[in-house]
């Protein structure tokens, strides 16, 4: 399925159908269906029938529709407004509410990632980033066992969102192990995890997981960091996390191959957290392997301030 198509003199962007259904009260745009290479159908907006029409599409196992690029951005702005107004509250969420919330956030993440990759970088294409991060942190706080929750939901969530949520969650928890930690830093490391691989395509994730030809990924962190700087809305700590997220203390990382002395404290914390999550996913979410994973990380991250980070990891799991 194409990520975008040209039809009737307009560019149409692939959009998750479940996102539209989730916020159907905000939706008032025509849609395009890409039935095959030679047949595309535009369905004009009709308030009386749009909800039923879209539901029937989902019942037919259609997962994506197409919106004109300007309509997609307008819809995204409206979604952001409603999320800002919607209070998820300070009270405890039920297990079912947590599952529903995490699935909802995952859909919003996919929507944002699609806008970013298809419409190019702009402040508009990151319009949902902070709201997604805010709601993610709330859901994580309310979840007794995040790993168990994501194991149960892994077939329902966007896989890239799941990685970001796990890495950001562990980074935020790890912050508590240090006397310099506070809520503001938690938000920064969580947001950094959410943005780090936003400009990656599926082929990039496959290259990274295989661990070969990593040179093909070299420019991605630099490009993303430069884009965030130009936006002039993200903190230098968040940008540093994005730029150094794939470095290693022994200079084997990318994009610049710096050693432990050149890697910032929060990027180091993110690197350790994301590697823990990567190893956990490789073990099919077997949380009983956490001690073995920690020992593997200690052997790998034993230089400079990574020593302090690993001490924090040990304290976190001993608590």
Burial classification of residue 180, based on how many CB atoms lie within 10 Å of its CB (0-12 exposed, 13-18 middle, 19 or more buried):
exposed
Sequence-distant (≥ 6) Cβ neighbours of residue 57 within 8 angstroms = 17, 33, 65
pLDDT, tens digit, 9 for 90 and up, residues 250-291 = 999 999 999 999 999 999 999 999 999 999 988 988 889 999
**1 has pLDDT over 70:** no
Give kind and range of the element (H or E) at residue 43: strand 39-43
Instruction: Classify domain 87-318 by CATH architecture.
Output: Orthogonal Bundle (1.10)
Give the helix ranges, DSSP H, for 196-254. 202-210, 219-231, 236-244
Question: What Rg do the C-alpha atoms of the chain give, in angstroms?
Answer: 20
pLDDT, tens digit, 9 for 90 and up, residues 101-155 = 999 999 999 998 888 888 776 666 788 898 899 999 988 888 888 888 888 888 8
Q: Where are the domains of the chain?
A: 1-70, 87-318
Confidence (pLDDT) at 127? 81
pTM of the model: 0.87
Confidence (pLDDT) at 34? 87
Confidence (pLDDT) at 164? 93
pLDDT, tens digit, 9 for 90 and up, residues 229-248 = 988 889 999 999 999 999 99
Share of the chain above pLDDT 70, in %: 96
Using the CB atoms, write b or e for 212-223: b if 16+ within 10 Å.
eeeeebeebbee
Confidence (pLDDT) at 90? 54
CA–CA separation, 244 and 65 (whole Å): 36
pLDDT, tens digit, 9 for 90 and up, residues 25-81 = 999 999 999 887 678 999 999 999 999 999 999 999 999 999 999 999 999 999 988
Confidence (pLDDT) at 2? 67
171: left (phi over 0), alpha (psi -120 to 50) or beta: alpha
According to DSSP, the residues that pair with 40 across neighbouring strands are 34
Dihedral angle sign, alpha carbons of residues 177, 221, 80, 100:
negative
Confidence (pLDDT) at 119? 75
Token pair for 256: 């610049």
CA–CA separation, 104 and 236 (whole Å): 29
Q: What average pLDDT does this structure show over 167-194?
A: 95
Asked whether the beta carbons of 242 and 225 are under 8 A apart, the reply is yes
Asked whether the beta carbons of 42 and 65 are under 8 A apart, the reply is no
Confidence (pLDDT) at 118? 81
User: Which among 103, 205, 202 has a CA at the least distance from the CA of 155?
Assistant: 103
CA–CA separation, 210 and 102 (whole Å): 28
The more confidently predicted of residues 216 and 90 is: 216
């Amino acid at each position: 399925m194409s990520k975008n198509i040209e039809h009737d003199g307009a560019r149409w962007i692939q959009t998750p159908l479940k996102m539209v259904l989730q916020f159907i009260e905000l939706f008032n745009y025509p849609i395009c269906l890409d039935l095959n290479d030679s047949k595309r159908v535009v369905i004009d907006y009709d308030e009386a029938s749009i909800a039923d029409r879209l539901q029937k599409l989902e019942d037919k196992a259609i997962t994506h529709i197409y919106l004109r690029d300007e309509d997609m951005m307008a819809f995204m702005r409206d979604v952001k407004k409603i999320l800002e107004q919607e209070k998820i509250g300070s009270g405890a969420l039920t297990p079912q509410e947590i599952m529903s919330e995490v699935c909802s956030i995952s859909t919003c993440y996919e929507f944002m990632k699609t806008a970013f990759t298809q419409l190019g970088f702009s402040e508009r294409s990151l319009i949902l980033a902070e709201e997604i991060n805010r709601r993610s942190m709330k859901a994580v706080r309310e979840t007794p066992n995040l790993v168990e929750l994501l194991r149960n939901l892994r077939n329902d969530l966007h896989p890239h969102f799941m990685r970001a949520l796990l890495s950001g969650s562990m980074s935020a928890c790890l912050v508590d192990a240090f006397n310099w930690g506070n809520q503001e830093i938690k938000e920064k490391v969580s947001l950094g995890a959410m943005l780090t691989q936003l400009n990656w395509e599926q082929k990039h994730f496959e290259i990274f997981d295989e661990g070969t030809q990593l040179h093909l990924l070299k420019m991605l962190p630099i490009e993303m960091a430069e884009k965030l700087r130009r936006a002039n809305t993200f903190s230098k700590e968040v940008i540093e996390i994005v730029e150094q997220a794939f470095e290693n203390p022994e200079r084997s990382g990318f994009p610049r191959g710096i050693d432990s002395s050149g890697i910032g404290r929060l990027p180091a914390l993110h690197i350790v957290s994301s590697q823990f999550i990567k190893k956990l996913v490789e073990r099919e979410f077997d949380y009983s392997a956490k001690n073995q994973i920690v020992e593997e990380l200690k052997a790998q991250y034993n230089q400079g301030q990574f020593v302090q980070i690993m001490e924090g990891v040990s304290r976190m799991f001993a608590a």
